[in-house]
Amino acid sequence: MGLASNILPGRMLPGLFWLLAALQLHGQQAATDAVLLQYKDQLEDAQAAADPLLIAQKHRQLGAYFDASGVLTEAVEQYTQALAALKSRPDDTLQILLKNNIGKVHLALNNFDLAAQYFWEALADAQRLGQAHGQAVSKSLLGHCFEKKGEYLEALQLQKESLALFESLRDSAGIAAVNENIGSIYEDLAQYDLAFDFFWKAYLFYRQKDTPDKANILNNLGDIYRKKGNLPEAIRYTQQALELAEKIKDYNRLESAHKDLSKAYAALGDFQKAHQYLLNAEEYEELLQEQQAASQLKKLQIIYDTQKKEAQIQLLEEQNRLNAANQRLLYLALALVAAILAIVYYFSWKKRRERWRINELEQRTLAAELEKKAIEEKNLQQEIQLKTASLSRYSLHIAQKNKMLLDLSETLKKMARRKGLDFSAKITELAREIDANLHEESEWEEFISYFNEIHPEFTQQLTALAPEPLTPAELRLCVLLRLNLSSKEIASILRITPDSVRVARYRLRKKLPIGSGEELVNFLLGL
């Protein structure tokens, strides 16, 4: 576990960690400065030997060094000089590599059209020279360029052509890299299952390797799980990426892992952890910015020192004729360095201030949303309670009405059987009207409407669970049992005897998937 293992949610990064990180970066910087000077000396030797291929190789070496250090303008300059040295060697495959490298620098600078121009030239050279590996690399880079421009179909076609070439060459590293690129395109297209498949193929290659590429792919897998809503798996993969980044001390991947963990915990609703991971990511971002700024300034200083040394030699040869101009140049360079430092500090301070304002606004917005949701939930609970009470009162009203009408109907029928009374026919007619009223369905339909408002999915779930279709009468019985009414109350509502209710309940139970020890009412209440 690396130094960054001290970073835990709920804690700020220890000052000791940053001190050790700074010392480590300082040591690395000193080593890379020595490498730069060595490369400069080797280039001078190659120029003295007047060997075009060796000169091109040394310029490419310096270009790669500046490219990795983030001094991109100097990297392009070195690559361009390497190409110029190869003008007398048009069939040298090194041109393919150099053009692809220049294209990658322009791609990093978001100069997509210029980057694509160099990639197409490299592809044409590779095809002309029959260089399959160069074709595969160029097509993959072109696909990445089209992806950045949002032209996903062209990007996907080029990546697939590149993949076919790498597979024909049995180049496992190239296959893994292109699979990752294709996964990235499908992720941009929101086709997450396809994206996951290609990321997984890339991961299988890096599984046994503790490299930044493996950490990056683990982050991608975690990101896909998060976008698919599988947050536990997202956290698991991103945590693996974090642990690997700590182990190999890759601050770029550490920043990405902390940022992705912040998003995952925010989606889970654990905003405290999300906030802490976000703070950790910002700390790494600041460390990387400081590292990059210091590195670039150091490289520029070395470039300047080298140029100064060459100028001094020239000045000595010209008998110190340009001493005054050189002094002004020195002051200008120092002023430029000071200006760069001031600009970096200003923008860093401005960014921190804006980040603080955004965080404060997000916290206020989150608190307002939580309060609004609590009020809405409370209102919804009150509405459900009111509707439940209304439904109970309505069912009681139906039962009482039906009982009253039944008693009245029986009384009238008894009176009608008394033959000595003249109003026998009238009473019989009234009894028929009451019986007809008892068969009206409008109140039942209104009752079912109330029920469905409170239990909208009950009928669908019941129908899906029943092995065989339920009759309308059985569905009515299920609804009344769901309201936890007694057999006597159900009998009054359905205008049948309590014994008939018990028989109907027995038959209904046989039609439903109910265990031997489970009550019918409890089963229905659970839906």
Q: Is the pLDDT of residue 188 over 80?
A: yes
CA distance 216 to 239: 12
Band of pLDDT at residue 182, cut at 50, 70 and 90: very high
Q: Which of 68-77, 255-264, 402-411, 460-469 has the lowest mean pLDDT?
A: 402-411
Band of pLDDT at residue 438, cut at 50, 70 and 90: low
Question: Mean of the pLDDT values across residues 23-46?
Answer: 70
* pLDDT score recorded for residue 288: 72
Band of pLDDT at residue 1, cut at 50, 70 and 90: very low
Of 70, 129, 71, the closest CA to residue 99 belongs to: 129
Band of pLDDT at residue 103, cut at 50, 70 and 90: very high
Q: Within 88-211, where are the H helices?
A: 94-108, 112-129, 132-148, 152-169, 172-188, 192-206
Structure-model confidence comparison of residues 99 and 33, the more confident one: 99
Chain Cα centroid distance, residue 68: 28
Instruction: Look up residue 235 and give its amino acid.
Output: I
Q: Is the pLDDT of residue 11 over 80?
A: no
Q: Which of 35-39, 115-119, 273-277, 316-320 has the lowest mean pLDDT?
A: 316-320
Give the tens place of pLDDT for each residue, 216-231: 999 999 999 999 999 9
Give the tens place of pLDDT for each residue, 384-403: 664 665 566 566 566 656 76
- HEC string of 66-91 equals HHHHCCHHHHHHHHHHHHHHCCCCCC
Instruction: Look up residue 319 and give its amino acid.
Output: Q
Structure-model confidence comparison of residues 31 and 53, the more confident one: 53
The DSSP element (H or E) to which 189 belongs, if any, is: none
Which pair of tokens denotes residue 320?
């110190």
- Per the CB < 8 A criterion, the answer to whether 219 and 257 are in contact is yes
- Per the CB < 8 A criterion, the answer to whether 267 and 282 are in contact is no
% helix, strand, coil for the chain, step of 5: 85, 0, 15
- Per the CB < 8 A criterion, the answer to whether 264 and 275 are in contact is no
Question: Mean of the pLDDT values across residues 14-23?
Answer: 46
Band of pLDDT at residue 17, cut at 50, 70 and 90: very low
- Per the CB < 8 A criterion, the answer to whether 128 and 91 are in contact is no
Range 402-407 contact pairs with CB under 8 angstroms and sequence separation of 24 or more: 402/438, 402/492, 402/493, 402/495, 403/492, 405/434, 405/437, 405/438, 406/438, 406/495
Q: How many CB atoms lie within 10 A of CB 95?
A: 22
147 CB contacts (<8 Å, ≥6 apart)? 155, 181, 184, 185, 188
Band of pLDDT at residue 3, cut at 50, 70 and 90: very low
Structure-model confidence comparison of residues 413 and 268, the more confident one: 268
Residue percentage of the chain with pLDDT more than 70: 79
* pLDDT score recorded for residue 292: 63
Chain Cα centroid distance, residue 160: 24
- Per the CB < 8 A criterion, the answer to whether 481 and 524 are in contact is yes
44 CB contacts (<8 Å, ≥6 apart)? none
Q: Which of 191-195, 415-419, 456-460, 504-508 has the lowest mean pLDDT?
A: 415-419
Give the tens place of pLDDT for each residue, 252-302: 888 889 989 999 899 899 889 889 888 888 888 887 777 666 665 665 566
Q: Is the pLDDT of residue 412 over 80?
A: no
Q: Is the pLDDT of residue 441 over 70?
A: no
Band of pLDDT at residue 6, cut at 50, 70 and 90: very low
In order of start, what are the domains of the chain with their CATH numbers?
A: 209-292 (1.25.40.10), 455-527 (1.10.10.10)
Mean pLDDT rounded to a whole number for the chain: 82
Range 141-144 contact pairs with CB under 8 angstroms and sequence separation of 24 or more: 141/100, 141/103, 141/104, 141/107, 141/115, 142/116, 143/181, 143/185, 144/107, 144/181
Q: Which of 345-349, 372-376, 512-516 has the lowest mean pLDDT?
A: 372-376
Q: What angle do CA 229, 235, 241 make, to 5 degrees?
A: 130
* pLDDT score recorded for residue 227: 92
CA distance 469 to 294: 76
Burial class (CB in 10 A: 0-12, 13-18, 19+), 517: exposed
Band of pLDDT at residue 115, cut at 50, 70 and 90: very high
